């Protein structure tokens, strides 16, 4: 009886070691698969750098303020749109601003539509890698 218990104990220990080894192999394989998936997503979408939808919606809604330009890192172009809007509103009292005030929102609307109609990869390459600031 004691010999049977020792035999069962050895078999249990062997099964435990085998299961432990397989679990370790599985965990390593899972880590590798997750890393490959993460790398694939980064290659496809440019990592967390792709801001297409955010920039597109902000361009349509707040295009006259140049917010979409600031989001994409085009600070000079964003400041130009913001400054043009402020100046055109200031010139409204002279009626000159009435002719100028519609230009920045139209630029934002056009750019927002362009941003949202491009593929993710095309948007990333055009506006984030190649840094094309206008249209």
Q: Which residue has the tokens 């361009």?
A: 59
pLDDT digits (tens, 9 = 90+) for 73-128: 899 999 999 999 999 988 888 888 888 889 999 999 999 999 999 988 898 888 88
Q: For 87-96, b where at least 16 C-beta lie within 10 A, e where not — what string? A: ebeeeeeeee
Give pLDDT, residue 131: 82
pLDDT digits (tens, 9 = 90+) for 56-65: 999 999 999 9
CA gap 17, 14 in Å, rounded? 5
């Amino acid at each position: 009886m004691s010999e049977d218990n020792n035999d069962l104990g050895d078999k249990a220990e062997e099964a435990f070691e085998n299961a432990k080894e397989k679990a370790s192999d599985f965990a390593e394989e899972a880590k590798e698969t997750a890393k490959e998936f993460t790398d694939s997503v980064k290659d496809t979408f440019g990592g967390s750098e792709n801001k297409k939808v955010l920039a597109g919606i902000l361009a349509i809604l707040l295009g006259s303020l140049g917010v979409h330009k600031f989001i994409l890192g085009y600070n000079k172009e964003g400041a130009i749109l913001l400054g043009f809007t402020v100046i055109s509103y200031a010139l409204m009292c002279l009626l000159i601003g009435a002719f100028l005030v519609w230009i920045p929102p139209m630029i934002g609307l056009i750019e927002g539509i362009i941003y949202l109609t491009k593929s993710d990869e095309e948007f990333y390459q055009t506006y984030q890698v190649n840094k094309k600031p206008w249209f």
